[in-house]
Structure 1
Amino acid sequence: MIAVGSSAERLEPVDADERVVCDLTSFSAVSSLAASVGPVDALVHLVGGWRGGGGLAGQSDEDWAWLEQRVVGTLRNTTRAFEAALGASSAGRVVIISTTGLDRPTAGNASYVSLKAAAETWLAAVSHALRATPATTHVIRVKALVSAADRSAEPDRTFDGYSDVDDVASEIVGLVGS
């Protein structure tokens, strides 16, 4: 089983004979998916997004709700639904992408950084839940991600401090195996 993200809210498990789309914002949908896929060796949470700016007053309730659902809600749903499968695996891994912004939060990224901190805290609790199993959890912190397409679209931009998606993908493969 290989899982690839197709959008901010969806996970597409790809098997030789099937393709399933699941709404990760729905715990019941993720639970149904978990019950149907069998053994799972890795959960790589690549769901999220960014909203911010405007100082503290600019942190809108709508942006908070949007981020909470994607950054923390989808992580809660997937880890709760797949906990047993990951714990039963001899190589269970949970990986999330977080932000270096946790080290220096700003008023303009307060909602985003707060929810990334919540995601890291949730992952620490997942680690505690899996402590009697071989499963492990991992956080990869990046400032932001950049792809070859991003660089092509903005050839004059330097993307200082950004992490290349290919490098992050290699790090993930190193953590979960191929």
Structure 2
Amino acid sequence: MTVRDRTVLLAGATSPSGLTITRLLMEAGARVIAVGRDQSRLDDLAAAAGSSDPASGSLRTEVCSLTDETEVAALASRLADAGEHIDGLVPLVGGWRGGGGLAGQTEEDYRVLAQAFTAVRVTSRAFDADLRTSQAGRFAIVSSVAVARPLAGGANYAAVKAASEAWTRAVAQGFAKAARDADEPLRAAAVAFRVRTLDEVIDRVAAQIAGLWDMDPAELNDRIIEIT
């Protein structure tokens, strides 16, 4: 079982990291749905990720505010109507605000950073049924080593990442419980990748994401994987 012919939704895909992951998934034969708020940036992503290799996967772009529950629900309905069943979900909404010690962490900083956690919650709820019923559902977030050792100057950031990890572990427990209740083998898995600086390890993170479908979900589910 591999990512080939799987449909993977990248939520917040227009960053350089999103482009790297999109390219690798397409090279592996996946159908990628890249979601972002800006159509022009999505067009740039599609142009940069385009492949003439007939063996590569496909790319579809969708405009959506990933922190808006109504918009994400409409996206899920739109994809379902188009016959798209999601096998993988990777929220990539993120950012950094920090420095100045604990007193330098403002509530405005926190509200900006917390949008990433909102996107994790909203998208995972919207596509939970798809991932549970997929033959190989995968949910993955990119977290930070700061969760294990938070610093005063990054308190807001570490708190948001810790909350996102807790949510992901809850998703994992939901997958496991659903399989037990149905008396079926576990087919879905949720994981968190911890990195120090994403730009420095993005190629390895992209490879790990594409490789999620190569692994036994029972061994993968509820794992924290550090990539440094």
The size of the alignment, in residue pairs, is: 159
TM-aligned CA deviation for residue 26 of structure 1: 0.3
Contact 1:30 1:78 in 2 (8 A): yes
2:202 — aligned with what? 165
CA distance in 1, matches of 2:60, 2:205: 27
192, 197, 209: which is aligned to 1:144? 197
1:155 — aligned with what? none
2:184 — aligned with what? none
Q: TM-score, normalised by structure 2?
A: 0.64
Question: Cα 1:58–1:17, aligned 2, differ >3 Å: closer, same or farther?
Answer: closer
1:135 equivalent to 2:188? Answer: yes
1:112 equivalent to 2:154? Answer: no
CA distance in 1, matches of 2:88, 2:210: 10
1:41 equivalent to 2:41? Answer: no
Question: Cα 1:89–1:61, aligned 2, differ >3 Å: closer, same or farther?
Answer: same
1:16-35 matches, within 5 Å, as 19-35=61-77
Contact 1:42 1:176 in 2 (8 A): no
CA distance in 2, matches of 1:117, 1:58: 20
Partner amino acid, structure 2, of 1:40: I
1:10 equivalent to 2:14? Answer: no
Moved over 3 A (4+): 1-4, 14-19
Partner amino acid, structure 1, of 2:75: L
50, 57, 69: which is aligned to 2:103? 57
Greater percentage in helix: 2
The gaps in structure 1 that reach 5 residues or longer are 147-162
Identical aligned pairs, as a percentage?
42
1:88 — aligned with what? 133
TM-aligned CA deviation for residue 17 of structure 1: 8.9
